[in-house]
Amino acid sequence: MRFLTARRRHPAAKALVLVFALLVMGALYSALAPSSKSAADTSTSQQVEEGRALFAVSCASCHGLNGEGQTEGTIQGPPLIGVGAAAVEFQVATGRMPMARPGPQAEVKASEFTEEETLALAAYVASLGPGPAIPEPADYDPAGLSEEEIARGGELFRTNCSACHNFEGAGGALPNGKYAPSLFGVSNLHLFEAMLTGPQQMPVFSNGVLTVDDKRAIIGYLNELHEQPSRGGLALGGLGPVSEGLWAWLAGLGVLVLFAIWIAAKGVKAR
């Protein structure tokens, strides 16, 4: 301490103390001040506000003003707390939500909202509770997959998906008017989100179990499969015995019946 007290009147002392105090303040500020997120937060919270306004107008009549859901009354909707942004993006961007009318299953139609509005709604619902976020393009873009990975995607597809969605993704029927939709023409993002969130009757295939790479492989397989032209003649929707049987019974047997009638007909007589 003597060393300091002896030099307290040194001409440089004032400047050094000032520098020291500044350093301490700077360190304290960086440790205690709110992190730099605050700048980004303003735009997100603005998005959430926009989403809240849209939600109140378009979704609240079924899902409740705060997304708490309605389980009583004639108009019902499940709670949306914790479903995450991915579920909202999937349901709204594919036009399934808002539903045109109550029914066994929400149908695909043209989306009611612009992309910005969809993202605002997603941000608002995501703010209600933690849930899966909208995946990044790197997660669902199958570009660069090797042949082996695509073949593996095929194995995963046949094991996990083909039971409902048919072996080439043409979709299929479920009880009581429900159905597994066709996967033809579904965007990679929506394929990924459907697996991630399990919309409606579809089960969830979370990233912790069916990994992001597995999902990418499945998407890669579907793209590959749907790009290939069907070389077996008329595919008849790829539905197997249903459409083929219908064709055989109506067209095939119908023609045979006409022939049989012609063979047995008496024909024109001279009198």
Contact 237, 180 (CB under 8 A): no
Per-residue interface string for the shown chain with other proteins, residues 246-265, x marking contact by CB under 8 A: ----------------xx--
156 scored as a contact of other proteins (CB under 8 A) = yes
From the centroid of its chain, how far is CA 238? 25
Q: Which of 9, 233, 241, 261 binds other proteins (CB under 8 A)?
A: 233
Smallest gap from Cβ 55 to other proteins, in A, equals: 23
Quickly count: other Cβ atoms within 10 Å of residue 28's Cβ. 10
**Of 3-11, 60-68, 118-126, 196-204, which part binds other proteins (CB under 8 A)?**
196-204
User: What residues have CB less than 8 Å from 270, skipping those under 6 apart?
Assistant: none
Query: Cβ 93 to other proteins, closest distance in Å?
Result: 21
Site for other proteins (CB under 8 A): which residue of 163, 246, 257, 258? 163
- Two tokens, residue 150: 């695509």
Stretch that binds other proteins, among 85-93, 109-117, 138-146, 203-211 (CB under 8 A): 203-211
Residue 94: strand, helix, or coil:
coil
- Closest to other proteins by CB, 52 or 215: 215
Contact between 206 and other proteins per CB under 8 A: yes
Sign of CA dihedral 95, 100, 106, 107: negative
Q: Is 25 helix (H, G, I), strand (E, B) or coil?
A: helix
Interacting residue with other proteins among 11, 34, 73, 203 (CB under 8 A): 203
What phi, psi does 70 have (nearest 5°)?
-130, 120
Using CB under 8 A, pick the residue from 235, 238, 243, 244 that binds other proteins: 235
- C-alpha 129/C-alpha 135 separation (Å) is 17
* Bridge partners for 77 per DSSP: 70
Footprint of other proteins on this chain (CB under 8 A)? 152, 155-156, 159-160, 163-164, 172, 174-175, 178, 198, 200-206, 208-211, 214, 229-235, 262-263, 267-271
